[in-house]
Chains A and B, each alone.
Chain A
Amino acid sequence: DSGVTQTPKHLITATGQRVTLRCSPRSGDLSVYWYQQSLDQGLQFLIQYYNGEERAKGNILERFSAQQFPDLHSELNLSSLELGDSALYFCASSVESAGEAFFGQGTRLTVV
């Protein structure tokens, strides 16, 4: 158990819908990262937050947004969902903005 908690574990939704994925980092970790992993693909960086502020942004679609709350948990919002958004979405956390990052179990999103 990495200490990073992601909910829900599975999500099935229809095209055009909006979903919210939640991540609770390890206790004491200030940095949260979001990654997308499509079938048999690598980990694509989406966005990073550090202590509530956006730290770095990857190739995140405009339909996607995220935030980190004062209690340091983070949410990834995906809207106007398309079939191609079906993937595993991982959250990771680390103490500092650059250090050992620990991953959650992921949310498997299926868009039908």
Chain B
Amino acid sequence: GQQLNQSPQSMFIQEGEDVSMNCTSSSIFNTWLWYKQDPGEGPVLLIALYKAGELTSNGRLTAQFGTTRKDSFLNISASIPSDVGIYFCAGYDLSGNTPLVFGKGTRLSVIA
């Protein structure tokens, strides 16, 4: 099945810094989704991407659908303490016949 490689696994940053994380797949995806999960809670959808090259923002978050269709990036600008959590990428492959597959997550810690 599809593999999603998400990096980095974890990050420790200072408040106010920008953050970048990425996800690569072994196959071509036609949809990329980015989620944030707080401890003990369900993942919350942050951004959805549907076209290669698409760049979409949600407040301080910006995500891009890679032009190869095999990768996606999430950037967080000017991090704040409430950005702490686990960020997951997820996606559907080109056929659309496979389930939503998730990366293993990037654990973000923000030091005030």
Contact = CB atoms under 8 A, between A and B. Distances in A.
B33 interface: yes
Nearest to A46: B99
Contacts of A108: 40
Given A98-B31, A100-B33, A90 B99 contact: no
A92 B100 contact: yes
B40 A45 contact: no
Interface in B44-97: 44-45, 48, 88, 90, 92, 96-97
Contacts, number: 61
A58 B88 contact: no
Interface residues of B, number: 24
A80 interface: no
A99 interface: yes
Contact of A101 (B30, B45, B103): B45
Given A97-B96, A100-B33, A45 B41 contact: no
Interface residues of A, number: 26
Given A45-B100, A56-B98, A97-B96, A102 B45 contact: yes
Contacts of B42: 2, 4, 90, 92, 103-106
Interface of B: 30-31, 33, 35, 40-45, 48, 88, 90, 92, 96-105
Given A48-B99, A100-B45, 14 more contacts: A33-B99, A33-B100, A45-B100, A45-B101, A45-B102, A56-B97, A56-B98, A88-B40, A90-B42, A92-B100, A98-B30, A98-B100, A103-B45, A108-B40
Interface of A: 2, 4, 33, 35, 42-43, 45, 48, 55-56, 58, 88, 90, 92, 94, 97-106, 108
